Amino acid sequence: MSAASSARVTRRSQRGSLLALNETNPLVPYLFLLPHAVFFLVFIVYPVAFGFYVSVHQWDLLSGNSPFVGLKYYAQIFDPSSPQSQFFWRTLLNTAFFTVVSVPLLVGTALGLALLVYRPIFGQNIFRAIFFMPGILSVSVMGILWRWMFDNQSGLINVIREQFFGQAVIQFLTTEGWAWVPIIVGTVWWTIGFNMTLYLAALGGISQSYYEAAQLDGAGPWAQFRFITFPLLSPTTLFIAVTTVLASFQLFGQSLVITGGGPTRSTQSVIQYITEEAFGNNQQSSAAAMAFLFGALMLIFTGFQFRLMAKDLRSSGKDG
Amino acid sequence: MALTVQGSTPRVIKRQQRPTWLMDAPRFVLLMILALIFLAPIYWMLSTSFKPESDAIATPIQWLPAHPTLDNYTEIINSPDGKLWRWTFNSVFTALAFTLAHLTLCVLTAYPLARLKFKGREAWFWIILSSLMVPGIVTLIPSYIMMLQFNWIDTYHALIWPGVAGVFGVFLLRQFFVGIPLELEEAARMDGANSLQVLIYVILPLSVPALVSLAVFAFMGSWNNYVWPLYVATSPDMQTLPVGITSFSQRYVTEYGKLMAGTAIAAIPVLIAYLAAQRYLVSGIALTGMKD
């Protein structure tokens, strides 16, 4: 492999030019880093700083006159008399509710599904493909599908309830409380395949010898799961739980497409509210302040994810 | 007197020799039920899309269209203000350009971070990695204002460039490159290869699985991106498919047949692509534990 490819490589004269890609040039690594670094600084680092700048000014897109206002917009979020405060905390609570309900579902059902399809069975690959498939659809397709499934009058769910079980129609999309059902069911349907696939990969990494030893000791299927599978999956479970919490807190498209955030903001996510403040009410500064506060609250979880990845990095760095 | 040991037969753990399909029958039935539930929304979308409007909401329920028709599709495609083809083109073009740019930047950065020795390597890597702690909403509003200042609203630039420096791909490739045996690289260097040649001729050919997975993720991420294009590409000609079809859903709010036909046109190419690329997608997730 290397012989074949290095045969195509020609020897170059080792001149000291700063653009030459040879080992004597100390700038080579930086030349490699440069293209990504430019985009990284312009589109990731700068916007964070600029966002903070916007949040402490009274940004006005039209006049271009944007006076410094200090922490006014941050204070506003904590002032109970302002509508911004009311809506921010309300939608944050909505998002937290969604997270608390959906994360155990998304982790638990994914594990159950993975255990169901892990052992060989007729049509195993087809089942795996089917369970993963919804995840590739865009959020708008997924949302339109589930809005139709839970339609107040003619949705499949209501029709089945009415026709086969004689139940009265539930106005899922416009009833406070019930409106969460299509959002949560749709989200589980949409994202469970990712988590299932992660669990399947982890299950494949568990040595069969543990199970053989346990069988010799007379352990039944439940004992094997309880004392072998589950403990050995715990790093995966932790990873899945953290990433799923992060994804759930970023709820946006599902509730926007399925319920529009209604009725009366009862399913509006905090991100939807922030975008409404920024683009609907044209209050970019207020929205930027909310985004920063939300980002700071999220730091608890994003920091945790960061630590998990850093750990992964250290353990793999040894051989590199 | 012959001591016989024949009496002590070796202890054999006998497995019950019931046919496995019998053991697996309940699991199989359960999986079938779950699979049907998972497919139901997609089936219902297709079924509705072939029904005249009156049948779409008819009771009793029509599992199969009683009067199958293609009218919904022809009407959606020929609708003067519907821009399905344009949106599809925008999505494909944006996703391809994004994937190409993202992969190039990630490769170029991951290689020195994995293999070259230079001052500030660790520091830069940690700076890049720590940007993972910034949720998208924090940069959304300032980035939008930047697009206004660049005059990039309603252009492909706005759809492509702001996301190309995503760092998850750098992390993924760096981890993969670290695992490639150093000897291969050293052999090429002995033959006089410079760093770029080592990267192109030694590292990249050995990294095809990681590159393909990253490409599939990048393409899907761009294809399904919703928040950003919703605000930076608002004119009907510049909308991407996911944004465009939600505008459909507001127009055909009670015309379920047409709405489902439009949704099916957006969904079916992706489903077909998925069946083709499924292998890479699944192995990619297993490789990285990556989610968006």
pLDDT tens digits for range A191-208: 999 899 889 988 988 888
Among the residue ranges A102-106, A210-214, B102-106, B160-164, the one predicted with the least confidence is A210-214
CA within 13 Å, CB half, A46: 13
> E strands of chain B, at which residues?
none
Contact B64, A176 (CB under 8 A): no
Position A11 pLDDT exceeds 60: no
Phi, psi of A196 (to 5 degrees): -60, -45
First to last CA, chain A: 21
Task: Note if the bond before B60 is cis, omega within 30 degrees.
Answer: yes
Query: Is the confidence metric ipTM above 0.90 for this complex?
Result: no
Query: Quick check: A48 and B282 CB within 8 A?
Result: no
The predicted-structure confidence for B208-254, as pLDDT tens digits, reads as follows 888 988 888 898 889 888 999 999 998 989 999 999 888 888 888 77
pLDDT of res. B288 = 59
pLDDT of res. A43 = 95
Largest CA distance in chain A: 86
Residue A33 lies in a domain: no
Higher pLDDT, B162 or B253: B162
Cβ contacts of A246 within 8 Å, gap of 6 or more:
A298, A301, A302, A305, B135
User: How large is the angle between the packed helices B256-288 and B84-115, nearest 10 degrees?
Assistant: 10
Picking from A9, A163, A299, the nearest residue to B193 by CB comes out as A9
Closest listed residue to residue B212, CA positions, set B291, B281, B292:
B281
Q: Which helix (H) or strand (E) holds A253?
A: helix A253-258
DSSP codes joined into one string, A134-182: GGGS-HHHHHHHHHHHT-TTT-HHHHHHHHHH-PPP--GGGSTTTTHHH
Alpha-carbon span A276 to A280, nearest angstrom = 5
Q: Which residues of A touch B114 (CB under 8 A)?
A: 320
Higher pLDDT, B142 or B19: B142
First to last CA, chain B: 78
B85-251 domain in CATH 1.10.3720.10? yes
Q: Which residues of A touch B170 (CB under 8 A)?
A: 36
Alpha-carbon span A254 to A141, nearest angstrom = 10
| Mean pLDDT of chain A, nearest integer | 87
Please report, as a single letter, which amino acid is at residue B66: A
Alpha-carbon span B121 to B115, nearest angstrom = 10
Cα angle, residue B253 at apex, residues B248 and B255 outer, rounded to 5°: 95
Cβ contacts of B278 within 8 Å, gap of 6 or more:
A129, A132
Q: Which helix (H) or strand (E) holds B158?
A: helix B156-160
Among the residue ranges A70-74, A97-101, A298-302, A311-315, the one predicted with the least confidence is A311-315
Alpha-carbon span A142 to A137, nearest angstrom = 6
Position A19 pLDDT exceeds 50: yes
Contact A33, B118 (CB under 8 A): no
Best B117, B138, B219, B274 residue to mutate vs chain A (most A CBs within 10 Å): B138
Alpha-carbon span A64 to A283, nearest angstrom = 14
Contact B53, B67 (CB under 8 A): no
Please report, as a single letter, which amino acid is at residue A305: Q
Contact A68, B164 (CB under 8 A): no
Q: What is the DSSP letter of A229?
A: I
Alpha-carbon span A138 to A250, nearest angstrom = 15
Using CA coordinates, name the residue in chain B closest to A313.
B175
**Helix (H/G/I), strand (E/B), else coil: A282:** coil
The pair of structure tokens assigned to B255 is 């015309």
pLDDT of res. B232 = 94
The predicted-structure confidence for A131-145, as pLDDT tens digits, reads as follows 999 988 989 999 999
Q: Which residues of A touch B108 (CB under 8 A)?
A: 32-33, 35-36
pLDDT of res. B36 = 95
Position B60 pLDDT exceeds 70: yes
Picking from B44, B139, B161, the nearest residue to A47 by CB comes out as B139
A153 touches chain B (CB under 8 A): yes
Position A291 pLDDT exceeds 70: yes
**Helix (H/G/I), strand (E/B), else coil: A57:** strand
Contact B102, B168 (CB under 8 A): no
Position B4 pLDDT exceeds 90: no
Residue A317 lies in a domain: no
pLDDT of res. B28 = 92
Task: Note if the bond before A263 is cis, omega within 30 degrees.
Answer: yes
pLDDT of res. B267 = 87
Range of the domain at A192: 82-308
Using CA coordinates, name the residue in chain A closest to B185.
A2
Phi, psi of A252 (to 5 degrees): -150, -70
The predicted-structure confidence for A252-290, as pLDDT tens digits, reads as follows 999 999 999 889 899 999 999 999 999 999 899 999 999
CATH number at residue A292: 1.10.3720.10
pLDDT of res. A235 = 85
Among the residue ranges A162-166, A240-244, B56-60, the one predicted with the least confidence is B56-60
Position A5 pLDDT exceeds 60: no
pLDDT of res. B20 = 63
pLDDT of res. A22 = 60
What's the Cα-to-Cα distance from A167 to each of A160, A162, B162, B222, B232, rounded to whole Å? 9, 5, 50, 42, 45
Using CA coordinates, name the residue in chain A closest to B184.
A2
Q: Which residues of A touch B168 (CB under 8 A)?
A: none
Alpha-carbon span A265 to A277, nearest angstrom = 13
Q: Which residues of A touch B139 (CB under 8 A)?
A: 43-44, 47-48, 51
Confidence class of residue A315 from pLDDT cuts 50, 70 and 90?
low
Sign of CA pseudo-dihedral A140, A276, B159, A291: negative
Using CA coordinates, name the residue in chain A closest to B59.
A159
Radius of gyration of chain B, Cα coordinates, nearest whole angstrom: 27
Higher pLDDT, B224 or A21: B224
Position B16 pLDDT exceeds 90: no
Position A14 pLDDT exceeds 80: no
Tally the domains of chain A. Answer: 1
Picking from A2, A140, A319, the nearest residue to B226 by CB comes out as A140
**Helix (H/G/I), strand (E/B), else coil: A68:** strand
Contact B152, B158 (CB under 8 A): yes
Alpha-carbon span B202 to B193, nearest angstrom = 10
pLDDT of res. B158 = 95
Q: Is B252 exposed, middle or buried (0-12, 13-18, 19+ CB in 10 A)?
A: buried
The pair of structure tokens assigned to A293 is 């506060």
pLDDT of res. B10 = 44
Confidence class of residue B275 from pLDDT cuts 50, 70 and 90?
confident
pLDDT of res. A33 = 95
Confidence class of residue B21 from pLDDT cuts 50, 70 and 90?
low
| Burial call B34-67: b when 16+ CB within 10 Å, e when fewer | bbeebeebbebbbbbbbbebebbbeeeebeebee
Position B129 pLDDT exceeds 80: yes
The predicted-structure confidence for A43-97, as pLDDT tens digits, reads as follows 999 999 999 999 999 988 877 788 888 899 999 999 999 999 999 999 999 999 9
Position B1 pLDDT exceeds 50: no
Phi, psi of A37 (to 5 degrees): -60, -40
Alpha-carbon span A15 to A31, nearest angstrom = 17
Alpha-carbon span A202 to A221, nearest angstrom = 18
- In this structure, how many other beta carbons lie within 10 angstroms of the beta carbon of residue A306? 18
Q: Is A310 left (phi over 0), alpha (psi -120 to 50) or beta?
A: alpha
A319 touches chain B (CB under 8 A): yes
pTM confidence score: 0.86
